[in-house]
Structure 1
Amino acid sequence: MIIALMLYAASAALVRGAPFSKRNGNSLMMPLTHVDDSFYTTNLEFGNPLQSVDLVVDSGSADTWVMSSSNPFCSSNSNTRSNQTYDGSRITSTIDCQGLSTFNVNASSSFRNLDIGRFYINYTDGSLADGYWATDKVLADSVDVSGMQFGVAEYASAEISGILGIGFPRRESVRGYTGAPNKFYDNFPQVLKDKGIISTVAYSMYLNDPNGNSGSLLFGAVDPSKYSGKLYTFPMVNTYPNIVKVSATLAMTLQGIGARNKNQQQTFTNTKSAVLLDSGTSLMAAPQEIVAKMAHFISENATYSESDGVYTMECPADDDDTEFVFEFGDLFISVPLSTLILTPSSGSLCGLGVLPTEDESWTLGDVFMSYAYLVFDLDNYQISMAVAKFSKDGNQEASVQIQSDGTIPGAIKASAEPWTTNEPLTVSGSIFGNKKANSTSVSSSSFTSSTRVRSDTARETGVMKATSFKKSQISPALSHTANSASILSTKSTDRPISSVTSVAKSSSDTGKSVYTSIFTKYIYAATTVACNIS
């Protein structure tokens, strides 16, 4: 299976998520809180009596896990530091858990340790989540999802309360390490379907204005008031075609990308590419040559900084109207330059929040997804997209139900040809041409706080970059995934195999980075995503 990939850069304590709104028909709306402009959390309640826990929402992973209140990596639990150990070594580095909503298993009368094996994630920067699998009473507002399997991290060294994974179940972290249960299970979205709360495993993601603090996740339905124009439905693409029969990631086809402002416009490529849409990523990752073109469109003097891992340039003027246009054939989504500019913690140069990959892989994170209204249908392997309409209230209403066959009343089946195989990036004409790219322009907004990125496609680089304008605010990266090499492996081990193609020096090593810390992923060898697929 694919081990799920996570990367978070937390600069402050998590904010308690808003309560769930009412259930409406075969749907469930979960408000999202935008924490420090860095990631999105929602709230679940665990145990008897109930304990409220804020979880980072990630469409790129599948497991739900919570941090144990007894976690010895928490500084508040380290009064007897000399006695606090992990894996035989004394714990010398701790995190501040005072603002986190951890879970006290001993305070719940309904808690059950499943005793099926270990829950485990390990990271090359030293961070980890390690514990066991459990069930308990779990509520999403008044909606009972008890019986859902989740991980309890007895040891966790990253400053988050936990994760709500809403990706494909075959991405679950149940294989590839010592003590793994080696058995898939019904994760949160599937449990909602099993209990009849939704009729199909599909959800609408609305991240709202990237400057705002609220969005929403609507399971089983669509809210047309949260998007402009038409909603188009595209097929997911299988980025592992030689290994599995169906899609394993939330990926679709990008037909081309370019940029424009009042003075010029340029197409960077109109070669079809598979792009991962991932709410667990703040920024973007794109092929090196595309990022270079983006940077030099902004400034001819843009230069790649090896120490920072980003292109740097003189900070654009406040009235710079440059926008990057993403073409999906039937639809264009525009992202203003101001959203992608990284303001340095020192010095006069700004950074571009699009990180280059050497393997031509693409990840479109929150800075892109904020401008798109997205519907992910995991049962029918399709993604619907429209231009997001920002609102003061991030909540969605269940006004259009998603049918069991994936039909969304009013949505239009996309006509663009999907990606099938990798091809050299070329330019043969303009994406602007006769198509109405201008119709999808959106107002610009600034994005000036800590962010993170991860790249997760079949051509994974093995390098992740946690971006922050203040290096000291970066917490350890959470990440684990599998690439094409590990998917083909049949070894089962808790030792990583690395697919690293290049690793820039970490800012912790150089002490000079004002934008990024770089972490190399652990890639677990296992029989992978081919499991659980007919």
Structure 2
Amino acid sequence: MRSTTLTTTLTTTLLVATTVTALPELSIAKRHKHGARPVLQKRQDDEIVGTTVYDIITYSTGGAYYANLTVGTPPQNQVVILDTGSSNLYFDASSAPACQTDGAYACRGGTFSPAKSSSYEIVEPAPAFDTRFGDGSTASGPFASDTICLSDVCVSNVQFGVAQQVKSTTGYAIGLMGLGYSANEATRHEYPNIPEVLQASSEINSRLYSVYLNDEGATSGSILFGGIDVSKYTGPLQTLDVLPDARTRYIDQFITSVTALRTTVAGSSATIFANGATGVDAYASRSGSLPVLLDTGSAAWSVPPSVYRALLSQFPYITNQGVCDCSHADSDDTLTLTFDGAIEITVPAREFIVPLYNRTTNAAYTFTDGDQACVFMVVPSRGTGQGFLTLGDAVLRSMYVVFDLDQGQLSLAQANVNSTASPDVREVAAGPNGVKNAASRVQAAPSESGSAWPIAPQLSGSATQEFSVKTATTTVGAATGTAAVPADAQPSESASAAGLRVHPKLPPWMDWGYLCGVGMVVLMLFLISVPVWV
């Protein structure tokens, strides 16, 4: 069996190197918000592969993590969002009406033309693939199979959705790579998604991957399939049991709980809440905890209105609309979250106070006196009706997270952002002790697993289908920096007449245009952070 670790590059420029020669790695590179050119990691021993993944602020407010891959024979280039909060892989069809326009909601991540691929096959006709998201965006069409290439790893017979009809409500339309449990796929019949395909094709030992987004302003980070990079975190790697669904009690989403939250602002600390219940007790209405879905597809962290108000009271420079001068992103202010009563993660201001851009013009918004406006990436939400809220990139950037689908566990540590240490990638073996035996400083789950063990989804349809793996002749995503970014999606480096500007002598709440613009941004952040599965 060929054991491998695949790394895919994420929203800011993410790069990964590995010293494990048996593990091909698909690196994730993210584009710096100010246009710095990321550097592609050089392959070592021909078994470490880098591919560009980058952050485009204007694709979704606050940014998102994107990867390059190809589909079809010959290969057609695609850009997809990396999303731990959903499960489908899909591409926008070149025939979709939205992909034939040039407006603010047009397709900007590349499109797929089935007629141009000799290896394309329809698995189930339209509208077998039919999904919608909390922001009102939708995608539908047939399910198909074809050859997918990640970096220089190509796998045939991979199933995915083809969005012949796509509607985006918050910005450019773009494909998506869902990395969650296949139980949440938008289909009547479950099929192997990317983590399961990599395992079934013997590219990795189990359905496990590690995410390292790195600092908001960094030029590199990574997602590793099948392995852990111990150089990318500090302190202990705390393993937690994933919380089962509040209603079904099955583990099919990456849910854990925030049991305490405190702020440090201008050197003064304050507790927002503490001593919340752990484990499944976190779901109780008076538990004092916040069940959260760890979701790389969401930019913000959604919290109940009462928690949001308590946070604003500690950050006096953030307006009721959730905006402030970007100079505060450089402060020493922090949020500190405790997960399941077991591990603290500290989040610096620069991760949750991020620049605000006009999604149509790509121009920066300005605050008062011509300074750039930033948005507070914690947003109020009254819930999804599913017993949890979403915790997105604003917090995840400060975390190293191992998503273990086979064991139904998450392993969390403080991210070693902007690390200059040599990468130290460890292959993870199958079984309950895989993470413990592979990584260093691992602490076991504080609770008993019991009913929290995962229910492995039965792969139907293509379950017995064989995946053929080969090495691509060229590496996917070799372009870096602005060369890898669709031209229409590149943020402007300075505010222009198209951007919103507030008169220096007027406070922001007296400018109706500013209020409307910011109100729409806050609404979008809330909607983006609410996943809806069909």
- The residue identity in structure 2 corresponding to 1:200 is S
Name the SS of the counterpart of 2:351 in structure 1.
Answer: helix
- 1:296 equivalenced with 2:306 (yes/no): no
Shift of 1:372: 0.8
Shift of 1:253: 2.6
- The residue identity in structure 1 corresponding to 2:80 is L
- Percent identity at matched positions? 26
Q: Which residue of the other structure, out of 274, 278, 292, is the alignment partner of 1:275?
A: 292
Per the alignment, do residues 398 and 188 of structure 1 end up closer, same or farther by CA in structure 2, a change over 3 Å counting?
same
Shift of 1:294: 1.5
Mapped to 2, the partners of 1:472 and 1:406 lie a distance apart of: 55
Q: Is the 2:346–2:398 contact (alpha carbons within 8 Å) kept by the matching residues of 1?
A: yes
Mapped to 1, the partners of 2:22 and 2:497 lie a distance apart of: 46
Per the alignment, do residues 164 and 112 of structure 1 end up closer, same or farther by CA in structure 2, a change over 3 Å counting?
same
- 1:413 equivalenced with 2:443 (yes/no): yes
Mapped to 1, the partners of 2:174 and 2:324 lie a distance apart of: 36
Could you tell me which residue of structure 2 aligns to residue 57 of structure 1? 82
Deviations 1:10-37 (A, max 9, x none): xxxx999999989953664342423224
Counterparts of 1:168-183 in structure 2 under 5 Å? 168-174=181-187, 182-183=188-189
Q: Is the 2:84–2:295 contact (alpha carbons within 8 Å) kept by the matching residues of 1?
A: yes
Q: Which residue of the other structure, out of 32, 35, 47, is the alignment partner of 2:72?
A: 47
Mapped to 2, the partners of 1:199 and 1:73 lie a distance apart of: 39
Could you tell me which residue of structure 1 aligns to residue 331 of structure 2? 320
Shift of 1:213: 3.9
Counterparts of 1:176-215 in structure 2 under 5 Å? 182-215=188-221
Name the SS of the counterpart of 1:73 in structure 2.
Answer: helix
Name the SS of the counterpart of 1:74 in structure 2.
Answer: helix
Q: Is the 1:380–1:406 contact (alpha carbons within 8 Å) kept by the matching residues of 2?
A: no
Mapped to 2, the partners of 1:65 and 1:471 lie a distance apart of: 36
Deviations 1:363-406 (A, max 9, x none): 22111111111100001000011111123789965334243335
Could you tell me which residue of structure 1 aligns to residue 154 of structure 2? 144
Q: Is the 1:471–1:513 contact (alpha carbons within 8 Å) kept by the matching residues of 2?
A: no
- 1:247 equivalenced with 2:260 (yes/no): no
Task: Return the structure number with greater helix share.
Answer: 2
Mapped to 1, the partners of 2:162 and 2:205 lie a distance apart of: 29
Could you tell me which residue of structure 1 aligns to residue 428 of structure 2? 401
Mapped to 2, the partners of 1:261 and 1:64 lie a distance apart of: 41
Could you tell me which residue of structure 1 aligns to residue 22 of structure 2? 25
Per the alignment, do residues 68 and 517 of structure 1 end up closer, same or farther by CA in structure 2, a change over 3 Å counting?
same
Give the TM-score, by structure 2 length. Answer: 0.66
Name the SS of the counterpart of 1:516 in structure 2.
Answer: helix
Mapped to 2, the partners of 1:60 and 1:470 lie a distance apart of: 35
- 1:284 equivalenced with 2:314 (yes/no): no
Shift of 1:285: 0.8
Q: Is the 2:12–2:213 contact (alpha carbons within 8 Å) kept by the matching residues of 1?
A: no
Mapped to 1, the partners of 2:226 and 2:531 lie a distance apart of: 33
Could you tell me which residue of structure 1 aligns to residue 56 of structure 2? 36
- The residue identity in structure 2 corresponding to 1:325 is T
Could you tell me which residue of structure 1 aligns to residue 412 of structure 2? 385
- 1:354 equivalenced with 2:378 (yes/no): yes
Per the alignment, do residues 167 and 394 of structure 1 end up closer, same or farther by CA in structure 2, a change over 3 Å counting?
farther
Shift of 1:73: 1.4
Mapped to 2, the partners of 1:31 and 1:314 lie a distance apart of: 30
Shift of 1:362: 3.4
- The residue identity in structure 2 corresponding to 1:340 is F
Name the SS of the counterpart of 1:129 in structure 2.
Answer: strand
Could you tell me which residue of structure 2 aligns to residue 155 of structure 1? 165
Shift of 1:523: 9.1
Deviations 1:102-131 (A, max 9, x none): 212111111111235521234687643221
- The residue identity in structure 2 corresponding to 1:184 is E
> Any unmatched runs of 5+ in structure 1?
1-13, 78-92, 175-181, 421-468, 474-506, 527-534
Shift of 1:353: 1.9
Q: Is the 1:208–1:394 contact (alpha carbons within 8 Å) kept by the matching residues of 2?
A: no
Deviations 1:176-204 (A, max 9, x none): xxxxxx21111111111111111110000
Deviations 1:320-373 (A, max 9, x none): 321111123332111112332255624438642211122484322111111111
Mapped to 1, the partners of 2:313 and 2:335 lie a distance apart of: 13
- The residue identity in structure 2 corresponding to 1:248 is D
Mapped to 2, the partners of 1:394 and 1:132 lie a distance apart of: 45
Q: Is the 2:299–2:377 contact (alpha carbons within 8 Å) kept by the matching residues of 1?
A: no
- The residue identity in structure 1 corresponding to 2:314 is F
Could you tell me which residue of structure 2 aligns to residue 111 of structure 1? 120
Shift of 1:265: 1.2
Counterparts of 1:472-491 in structure 2 under 5 Å? none
Give the TM-score, by structure 1 length. Answer: 0.66
Name the SS of the counterpart of 1:513 in structure 2.
Answer: helix
